[in-house]
A = this chain, B = another copy of it.
Amino acid sequence: MNPNVFYGKMGVTIKQIAADLKLAISTVSKALSDSHEISPETKARVFEYAERMEYKPNPYASGLKDNRSRNIAVVLPEIADSFFASAIDGIEAAAQTKGYHVMIYLTHEDAQREHAIISELRHRRVDGVLISVVSNSSDIPHLQGLYEHGVPVVFFDRVHTAIDTANVVTNDFDSAYSAASLLIRKGCKRITFLALRGDLNIIKDRTAGYLKAINDHGIDTQLNPVLTCGHQEDETMTLIRQRLTQEDSPDGVICSSEKLTTQTYSVCHRLKISIPEDIKIIGFSHLPIASLLRPSLTTVTQPAFEMGRTAATLLLNALDKKRTILKKESIVLPSMLIERDSTG
């Protein structure tokens, strides 16, 4: 069969159906939406014919009227992080049940890229935006603009509190507090907290929780510092290696992100520092295979799927009611501290 037969064969339009059935376009439109002002016979004819022709309304044509596409955007720093992968899973689940479609945008921790993406989203390609930001200090005006122009925004995980909208987070402060307390309880005297450069609320909260625990236990803060790492892999690995080989090297580490966690493990493996004997490690990570690591990793595990689903549901509910301004609220879903072998 010649493939060109099909070339450009588009779906049937309402116009086509109207012509074929010798009806007015509006009659067909009403019939298809099961309007009461159309006779049962006509409806039947139209339905049957539409079915046979596999008619499907063009979503963007209908959307043109009320300016909706039923598309939402998800803007993320990266996707290779299992937290974000699971979050997307949750978002997609919520979207599918509500008849929305999910567009993915990756910022790769680059504020400029994020900026470009946000700008692009002003064009009304999507009805709303779910975002986990690159940094707190960047791009507030743009996000604010997006929001003000009728594209609602819901933050999740990495939030901007400067913008008055809904967000979904986890209890970062408390989790870090618990993590530090665990290490202290396990006898660690020189803990290092690995923070992430970039002015992020979640990192600030985790750091604060850690410091509070150190303080509450009356421990020397000098010996239990915070080490701030960047997003560059080589640089960070070097930093971690230096820290683990210096004099008075730490006997406990809390890694505030998934990447930092795996990087720390790598360094320990290479330097043959044994976990948990020489050093105990806790990672903020959603890794499903934490238990298969060498040794199995004690984690603060975020409710990633639920956070994604909750954020999406908040957004979608608003959209369904055609509300583009969301009540400022913060939904906090708890993380879990799961003890495994890396804390001995």
Contact = CB atoms under 8 A, between A and B. Distances in A.
Interface of A: 3-4, 6-11, 54, 56-61, 63-64, 67, 69, 71, 78-80, 82, 85-86, 88-89, 92-93, 96, 101-106, 122-125, 145, 147-150, 164, 262, 265-266, 269, 287-289, 291-296, 324-325
Contacts of A287: 289
Contacts of A147: 6
A26 B294 CA distance: 66
Contacts of A78: 89
A116 to B, nearest CB: 9
Given A123-B56, A124-B10, A269 B289 contact: no
A60 to B, nearest CB: 4
B8 A150 contact: yes
A269 B292 contact: yes
A7 B147 CA distance: 9
A63 B71 CA distance: 15
B89 A85 contact: no
Given A6-B150, A294-B296, A125 B101 contact: yes
Contact of A262 (B96, B104, B292): B292
Nearest to A12: B149
Given A8-B324, A10-B150, A79-B88, A64 B56 contact: no
Contacts of A56: 122-124
A6 B148 CA distance: 5
A265 to B, nearest CB: 5
B11 A123 contact: yes
Given A60-B69, A291-B266, A294-B294, A7 B123 contact: no
- Which one of A57, A80, A265, A325 has the greatest number of beta carbons of chain B within 10 Å? A80
Oligomeric state, in copies: 2
Contacts of A164: 3
Contacts of A123: 11, 56-59
A-B pairs with lowest CB-CB distance, top 4? A294-B294, A60-B60, A6-B148, A56-B123
Of the candidates A9, A287, A293, A294, the one having the most CB atoms from chain B within 10 angstroms of its own CB is A294
Given A8-B324, A10-B67, A101-B105, 17 more contacts: A6-B150, A10-B149, A10-B150, A11-B149, A56-B122, A58-B64, A79-B79, A79-B89, A79-B92, A80-B89, A101-B103, A102-B103, A262-B288, A265-B289, A265-B292, A266-B292, A287-B289
A299 to B, nearest CB: 13
A189 B131 CA distance: 52
B291 A292 contact: no
B59 A125 contact: yes
B292 A6 contact: no
Contacts of A61: 64
Given A125-B59, A292-B293, A80 B85 contact: yes
